[in-house]
A and B are shown apart, each in its own frame.
Chain A
Amino acid sequence: MRLTWIDWSSIALYVIAAIGIGLIGRGRVSKVADFLVAGRHIRYHLGVATLVATELGLITMMYFGEQGFRFGLSAFIIGIIWAAAYYVIGRTGFVIDRIRKLELFTITEYFQLRYSRGVRVLGAVLLTISGILSLGVFLKLGAVFIVHFVNIPETLLHITMSVLVVAVLVYTVLGGMLSVVLTDYVQFVILAVSMAATTIFVLMQQGGLDFFARVTATYGAQGLDPFVQPEYGWSFVFYWSIFAISGCILWQPVAQRVFATHSPELNRSIFKTTSVMFLGRAFFPIVWGIGAALYFGVSSDATGGMPKFLAEILPVGMLGIVAAGMFAAMMSTDSGYILAWSSIIVNDLVIPLRNRTLSDSQRILWTRTAILVIGAFMLVFGIWYELKETAFRYLLDVTTVYYAGGLAVLVAGLYWKRASTTGAYTAFILGALLPLTFVIEDMILQARGSTSGGYIAQLFLPNVRGTLSFVLGFVGMGIGSFVSPDTQQSTLQQTGENR
Chain B
Amino acid sequence: MMEFWELAWMFALALGFLGFCFISYKVAVRGFSEIRSLLDQFKRQSR
Contact = CB atoms under 8 A, between A and B. Distances in A.
A279 B20 contact: yes
Interface string B1-32: 11001100110110111011101101110111
Contact of B19 (A29, A42, A43, A280): A280
Nearest to B29: A45
Interface string A190-218: 00110110010000000001001101100
A406 interface: no
Interface string A260-286: 000000000000010011011001100
Nearest to A43: B34
Contacts of A231: none
B16 A79 contact: yes
B20 A80 contact: no
Contact of B2 (A24, A30, A221): A221
Contacts of B17: 196, 199, 280, 283
Contact of A48 (B15, B27, B38, B42): B27
Contacts of A73: 5, 9
A213 B3 CA distance: 9
Contacts of B35: 46, 182, 185
A469 to B, nearest CB: 29
Main secondary structure, interface of B, reads helix
A181 B41 CA distance: 14
Given A28-B42, A39-B45, A79-B16, A273 B23 contact: yes
Contacts of A189: 24, 28
A38 interface: yes
Nearest to A192: B24
Interface string A161-189: 00000000000000000100110010011
Given A45-B27, A189-B28, A225 B16 contact: no
Interface residues of B, number: 32
A221 B24 contact: no
Contacts of A277: 19-20, 23-24
A48 B13 contact: no
B9 to A, nearest CB: 5
Contacts of A43: 34, 37-38
Given A73-B5, A225-B1, A49 B27 contact: yes
Interface in A199-255: 199, 209, 212-213, 215-216, 221, 224-225
A124 B39 CA distance: 32
A76 B15 CA distance: 13
A388 to B, nearest CB: 29
B33 to A, nearest CB: 8
A39 B27 contact: no
Interface in A20-73: 24, 27-30, 34, 38-39, 41-46, 48-49, 52, 73
A287 interface: yes
B30 A212 contact: no
A185 B38 CA distance: 12
A167 B8 CA distance: 43
Give 5 closest A-B pairs by Cβ, nearest first.
A280-B20, A279-B16, A192-B24, A224-B5, A276-B19
Given A46-B38, A192-B20, 8 more contacts: A76-B12, A76-B13, A188-B28, A196-B17, A273-B23, A276-B20, A279-B15, A283-B13
Interface of B: 1-2, 5-6, 9-10, 12-13, 15-17, 19-21, 23-24, 26-28, 30-32, 34-35, 37-39, 41-43, 45-46
